[in-house]
Structure 1
Amino acid sequence: MLGPHVPVSSSPMTTILAPFATDVGGVLIALWSNPTSLLGQLAAHPATYQESKFGLKHRITAIDSGAFGMTSTHNIDKLEGARRLIETAIDLFFDNKDSLSVHNLAYSAFKVLFDLYPHKSGDGFSKQIDELIGREGWKSMSGIANFLKHADKDPDALLQSHHPIQGMIIIVFAVILFRRISGDLSLKMKAFDYWTDELAYDEIGIKEVDENAERAALFKQIRDNIKSLPFDHQIAIGKKMYKDFMETFERATRMIEKGQSKGLSFTQILDEHLGTSRM
Structure 2
Amino acid sequence: MQIDKHSAALRQLDSAIQGFFTGEDIIACHTLAGASSMLLSDLVNLKCPGKSWDAVAQEDNGLSPKEYYAITRKTQNFLKHADKDSGAILEFNPVDFTHIVFFATLNNGELGGIKSHAVQFFQLWYIACNSELFTDQKSILEPSLQLFGQIGNQSFDSQREHGSIKWASTTS
Scaled by the length of structure 1, what TM-score is found? 0.51
Contact 2:58 2:68 in 1 (8 A): no
User: Following TM superposition, by how much is the alpha carbon of 1:159 offset from its aligned partner in structure 2, in angstroms?
Assistant: 1.1
Correspondence 1:125 to 2:56: no
User: Following TM superposition, by how much is the alpha carbon of 1:245 offset from its aligned partner in structure 2, in angstroms?
Assistant: 4.2
What is the CA–CA distance in structure 2 between the aligned matches of 1:132 and 1:118, rounded to whole Å?
A: 18
- Name 1:64's counterpart in structure 2: none
- Name 2:162's counterpart in structure 1: 237
- Mapping for residues 170-249 of structure 1, pairs under 5 Å: 170-205=100-135, 206-207=137-138, 223-224=149-150, 226-246=151-171
- Name 1:164's counterpart in structure 2: 94
Amino acid of the structure 2 residue aligned with 1:131: E
Amino acid of the structure 2 residue aligned with 1:144: T
- Mapping for residues 1-279 of structure 1, pairs under 5 Å: 72=1, 75-122=2-49, 124-126=50-52, 127-132=55-60, 134=63, 135-160=66-91, 162-205=92-135, 206-207=137-138, 223-224=149-150, 226-246=151-171
Contact 1:117 1:177 in 2 (8 A): yes
Deviations 1:168-216 (A, max 9, x none): 110001000111102541111011111112222342223169xxxxxx8
The structure number with the bigger radius of gyration is: 1
Contact 1:93 1:168 in 2 (8 A): no
What is the CA–CA distance in structure 1 between the aligned matches of 2:109 and 2:139, rounded to whole Å?
A: 23
Contact 2:16 2:29 in 1 (8 A): yes
Amino acid of the structure 2 residue aligned with 1:91: Q
C-alpha distance 232-105 of structure 1, shift in aligned 2 (>3 A): same
User: Following TM superposition, by how much is the alpha carbon of 1:142 offset from its aligned partner in structure 2, in angstroms?
Assistant: 2.1
Amino acid of the structure 2 residue aligned with 1:149: K
What is the CA–CA distance in structure 2 between the aligned matches of 1:170 and 1:242, rounded to whole Å?
A: 19
* Greater relative contact order (Cα < 8 A, sep 6+): 2
Contact 2:78 2:90 in 1 (8 A): yes
What is the CA–CA distance in structure 1 between the aligned matches of 2:80 and 2:113, rounded to whole Å?
A: 32
Deviations 1:39-73 (A, max 9, x none): xxxxxxxxxxxxxxxxxxxxxxxxxxxxxxxxx4x
- Give ranges in structure 1 of 5+ residues lacking alignment: 1-71, 210-215, 248-279
Contact 2:130 2:152 in 1 (8 A): no
Residue identity over aligned pairs, in percent, reads 28
